[in-house]
Amino acid sequence: MFRLIVATSDTALAARLIGPLEGVAAIIRSVPETASLLELCRKAAPDMILLDADAVDGFGTLLGEAMRDLAGADPEALLVVLGDEGDARSVLRAIRAGAADVIDRGTEGDELRSQIARHLTGAPRGDAAGAGALTLVMSGQPGGEGLFAVNLAVLRAKARGEGLLVDGALPSSEAGAALNVPLTYTIRDAIQDLPRLDRTLLSSALGHHAPSGLHLLPLAVAGEEVHDVAPEAIASMLLVLRALFGEVVLNVGGIRHPGLLTEFTRTATRIYLVAPQKFTAVKACRDLLVQIAPNPQVLDRITLVVEDHMPGITLGEEQMRDALGLKRSVRLPAARVELVNALNTGRPLVLDQPRAAYSRALERLAAGDAVPAVPAAARPAARGAGLFRRLRPS
């Protein structure tokens, strides 16, 4: 999916762009002010920048100066002006200043989609991932990964000074309770606000955990229905959020749309697949990987997280990792009692008990440490044979 920045104060104009381009491009709105636009472009690496030429809601007479600043800062930037196609002198000035095209500000629907798509076909950056990091947390059996995602996101945000946890847990998110933060603004709200979504709006609407700097956006609170939330809209929203935050941690939770999961794994910077030491959990993870059919490059970015690890359970980390065809794994020590007690008090375990074994292990993981797989030749051939047989399709 492409990323388009539209520099305008007219939220109705941004909304007119979102409809025709849904599923093709994410629209990220910026105020028509050069410094803010340059900062957003640096973070988002957009495929196209749309500059509103309107005298009230856009750059007006400062359009040429803004375009020269953008071109100087990023020679690859594809600049398109939204203006008056009938004003030949204005069109000529825009083209001379570096615009690839001038699209009439009143263009809508299929015509707008066609004109923008024509330029995106030759976009210099292509359909690459946005600049903001995406950390993905998945599980074959949704539910157990929620507190892992919360504590991981807290550590990542604390290290960076800020971050965003998008929690797809169903029927409702536990992240607010785990951090003692009230949550009222959801993914559905963010999708409805896409034409005006920016840091100012999000700073006032999102739940915020001050000790770590983590912001929270749940899929659902109080168990409300979410069946009407379109997968394409979620994908567009996530691209916008990645442009506005340095890192987004996404707990997939109950989001099970195959196309959406494939898109998430394709663009994620790092992926954690969480599973306890149970055959049913490993089988569910295997089924999930088959469903999204990740390519070898995606598999290399997946780390198996064996939660509540207990040495006495005969289904071990290496067997699980081999059965899933993964190269990286990590064990998290059993800490169910400590995690639930932390949830009940509203203090994340990694901050409340930083010296606990679970906290130390998760801190190493958050810093990027995971154990690579032992080469197959160095392992006994019979290890995990029974598990492999049970996982084979019947």
pLDDT digits (tens, 9 = 90+) for 78-129: 999 999 988 999 999 999 988 999 999 999 888 998 888 888 875 555 544 4
The arithmetic mean of pLDDT across residues 367-371, rounded, is: 64
Question: Residue 394: which pLDDT band, with cuts at 50, 70 and 90?
Answer: very low
Q: What is the mean pLDDT of residues 142-148?
A: 87
More confident residue, 41 or 376: 41
Mean pLDDT for the chain overall? 87
Per-residue pLDDT band for 323 (boundaries 50, 70, 90) equals: very high
**Residue range 164-216, pLDDT digits in tens:** 999 999 888 999 999 999 999 999 999 999 888 888 899 999 999 999 999 99
How would you label 330-366 residue by residue, b for 16+ Cβ within 10 Å and e otherwise? Answer: bbbbbbeebbeebbeeebbbbbebeebebbebbbebb
Distance between CA atoms of 246 and 164, rounded to whole angstroms? Answer: 8
**Rounded CA gap, 323 and 283, in Å?**
9
Task: Specify the pLDDT at position 388.
Answer: 55
| 373 confidence band (pLDDT: 50, 70, 90) | very low
Give residue for tokens 């010296």: 355
Residues of the chain with pLDDT > 70: what percent?
A: 90
Digit-coded pLDDT (tens) for 50-60: 999 999 999 99
pLDDT at position 294 is: 83
Tell which wins on pLDDT, 126 or 352.
Answer: 352
**Is residue 131 pLDDT above 80, yes or no?**
no
pLDDT at 381 over 50: no
In this model, does residue 386 exceed pLDDT 70? no
Q: What angle do CA 123, 249, 190 make, to 5 degrees?
A: 70
Does 382 score more than 70 pLDDT?
no
Closest alpha carbon to 239 in 154, 133, 149, 121 = 133
Taking 70 as the threshold, does the pLDDT of residue 63 lie above it? yes
Structure tokens at 44: 């988002």
Residue 133, pLDDT > 60, answer yes
pLDDT of residue 195: 86
The pLDDT of residue 376 is 41
Asked whether residue 374 carries a pLDDT value surpassing 50, the answer given is: no
Among the ranges given (88-97, 140-149, 226-235, 240-249), the one the predictor scored with the smallest mean pLDDT: 226-235
**pLDDT (0 to 100) of residue 295:** 83
- pLDDT of 24 reads 79
